[in-house]
Chains A and B, each alone.
Chain A
């Protein structure tokens, strides 16, 4: 039990006064961005990023990851109390959370959501504790072809399992790769794709892209619809909190199933949003009370919440042990790691034990801090929702502008950020997924380097990707995932020769709306 010893050592790093304070600050900021429409976990984390440059890496990652937990919780608060999902991943929570709160049981809904979310996160962290160092050990033996194969698999699983239109996903991915290639080529040193703008030699920073795509883009989507925040009472009845949590074990099957779905979707980059919808859908099909779903069923809250948090947490596993982030937010954090001078990937487990295990231990503590803080602050943040959107919107614009500028003190970045805002709006409006775009911007260079190094090794023969069992398996699995949407389409055509009638349920439409 080597891992447990390391974990205990991690706790001595995570449970210190300054770090606990950072966790509290991170969680509160996270709840704030989670509650506010137009700001989410990805751009919340990237806003904080420039402020962490002077910190110790372990303190910085604790701050950022705590913000992530806070944002996940904050999104559920508005889903349940206002029927307005603060985060795309908490849309499925509105289906049963809001009806239950409207029926006069807001505390039950909130406590059930937070309790199952904490359970999901716990399973995710346990998975990381026991699996991450093992995966890293396997990955230590990887050469460039294996790395390229793993990247390929990650990108292919977005196409195959992301839930958005496959070709739109491919276009989003390819645009991300092209953006990553802008600037100086690390292998040959030549300048690429600057299109005549000299300042682009430094490349396009992913923070600028995230601010525009998620910040301005989401704001433009949000401003279209006028918000009517009709809140149900946000008073917390503490006795009911404990009773609701005590009732959770009765739904053990739903909890475990949702956690498993969440972990799977988190490790393969399906992301928390897809995980929560999938979990909700499966719960509705298998639950004995499935036909009551949508009217305030307990399992209708448990399933999406558990999967959402399990996916959010386990998305950090591939980031830590392989250097491949499992979600957009994890991609931003990984960008942070590189800025702090760390090299995400298996070597972290050898060179930066304090960092890795400090982070893993902080996940246990951070989630407890998050549950406590979110329960204590629900009334405060619920009051925040009553601030008119016309005041919040310009503030978010200013935050994004300042954030984009402060990355490298460049005005061009601000202009590009606005451009990314327009792209983000169009993409969101037309259901192009944004997560693969960000992912490709962050790790596009590494994937390209891995490919070119492999080609150097094999003197230009693609055969190197089928040279041994491991690499062949990864590549074949990737190709299979790429072809999955096509196969499903063919199967559907064979079963039903006429074109689909275009009837979709309200829930399916809601799902299409938020897959990013």
Chain B
């Protein structure tokens, strides 16, 4: 279970650290006024400062027991968290597998895994869906629009 407050805090910390990174990084480009006009780092520096200040404000609002926040003490229930993970984890594994297995194989495996492993579909039907997905990708991108999708290190090793 994740509370609304924890989620607000985490997001504010996330945006705030991005802001700090922007500020630090823009200092390399120089801020302020030089002979060539406004320095390249000035604008990002200002936006970084705004992000940091805004995040701090959101952080404080997240900590304070404000009435509107008290209405929603729970942002994500355990069931919802399980559903989220059920979508996100396979998707992340799918993306991680692309460099090795290539887009076609990875997406076919992904479709097969999410349909067959939680037993949403029978194995033959899941196989059919997986094959159809890879084939549709191939026809639409490689053939119709001439966009080459990654074939993967595995295919390269096998000589495709």
What is the interface of chain A, defined by CB distance below 8 A to chain B? 50-51, 167-168, 170-171, 174-175, 177-178, 181, 185, 187-188, 190, 192-195, 216, 219-220, 223-226, 388, 390-391, 393-395, 397-398, 401-402, 405-406, 409, 411, 414-415, 418, 423, 426-427, 429-430, 432, 448, 451-452, 455-456, 460, 499-502, 504
Contact of B26 among A193, A223, A401 (CB under 8 A): A193
CA distance A430 to B90 in the complex (A): 24
Interchain CB contact under 8 A, A448 and B50 = no
Query: Which residues 101-116 in B have Cβ within 8 Å of A in the complex?
Result: 103, 107, 110-111, 114-115
12 contacts across the A-B interface (CB closer than 8 A): A170-B54, A174-B47, A181-B26, A192-B41, A193-B44, A219-B87, A224-B76, A391-B115, A393-B114, A401-B107, A429-B75, A430-B4
Q: In the complex, what residues of B have CB within 8 A of residue A452's CB?
A: 37-38, 43
Contact of B67 among A225, A409, A426, A502 (CB under 8 A): A502
CA distance A390 to B107 in the complex (A): 15
CB distance from B70 to the nearest CB of A (A): 6
Interchain CB contact under 8 A, A501 and B58 = no
Interchain CB contact under 8 A, A224 and B37 = no
What is the interface of chain B, defined by CB distance below 8 A to chain A? 4, 7-8, 10-11, 14-15, 18-19, 21-22, 25-26, 29, 33, 36-41, 43-44, 47-48, 50-51, 54-55, 57-58, 61, 66-68, 70-71, 75-76, 80, 83-84, 86-88, 90-92, 94-95, 98-99, 103, 107, 110-111, 114-115, 118, 120-121, 129, 133, 137, 141, 145, 147-150
Interchain CB contact under 8 A, B40 and A388 = no
Q: In the complex, what residues of B have CB within 8 A of residue A432's CB?
A: 11
Interchain CB contact under 8 A, A415 and B95 = yes
CB distance from A434 to the nearest CB of B (A): 13
CA distance A402 to B150 in the complex (A): 10
CA distance A500 to B68 in the complex (A): 8
Q: In the complex, what residues of A have CB within 8 A of residue B58's CB?
A: 167-168, 171
CB distance from A349 to the nearest CB of B (A): 29
Q: In the complex, what residues of A have CB within 8 A of residue B118's CB?
A: 390
Contact of A181 among B43, B55, B66, B121 (CB under 8 A): B43
Interchain CB contact under 8 A, A451 and B14 = no
For residue B42, which residue of chain A has the nearest CB? A452
On whether A398 and B133 interact (CB within 8 A), knowing A224-B84, A409-B148, the answer reads: yes
CA distance A390 to B26 in the complex (A): 44
For residue B118, which residue of chain A has the nearest CB? A390
Interchain CB contact under 8 A, B44 and A192 = yes
Interchain CB contact under 8 A, A398 and B111 = yes
Q: In the complex, what residues of B have CB within 8 A of residue A500's CB?
A: 67-68
For residue A457, which residue of chain B has the nearest CB? B37
